[in-house]
Amino acid sequence: SLQSAARRAGTSCANCKTTTTTLWRRNQNGEPVCNACGLYYKLHNVNRPLTMKKEGIQTRNRKLSSKSKKKKGSSSCLALSGVMSDMIKPLVSFQIF
């Protein structure tokens, strides 16, 4: 039992390569996998994809690019900004008086 405990200390997940997990599990090949990967395989019958973190970054970039595209593309935005500046001018003069 002491030998198996020593082995566990150097264990890394066969799927995501993590060395820290609350519970070690085994995959279909008998290799050690972390708790998250083991549970994912039980639920979906496929290995847990490791691109989840990257997807989070991509959605952030998408939001930024869509905003900049809207500003550049539509001419109605320019017309609106012109109207806005006309509306702001009297408001500013009111504040001065």
Interface residue with Zn ion among 10, 11, 15, 94 (CB under 5 A) is: 15
Q: Looking at 1-97, which runs of residues are DSSP E strands?
A: 25-26, 32-33
DSSP-assigned beta bridge partners for residue 33: 25
Binding range to Zn ion, per CB under 5 A, among 27-35, 64-72, 79-87, 89-97 = 27-35
Cβ atoms of 19 and 12 closer than 8 Å: yes
Is there binding between residue 14 and Zn ion (CB under 5 A)?
no
Which of the ranges 13-21, 23-31, 50-58, 65-73 carries the binding residues for Zn ion, by CB under 5 A?
A: 13-21
Q: Is 41 in the site for Zn ion (CB under 5 A)?
A: no
Distance CA 19, CA 57 (A): 24
Dist CA 26 CA 35 (whole Å): 9
Closest distance to Zn ion from the beta carbon of 18 (Å): 5
Interface ranges with Zn ion (CB under 5 A) = 13, 15-16, 34, 37
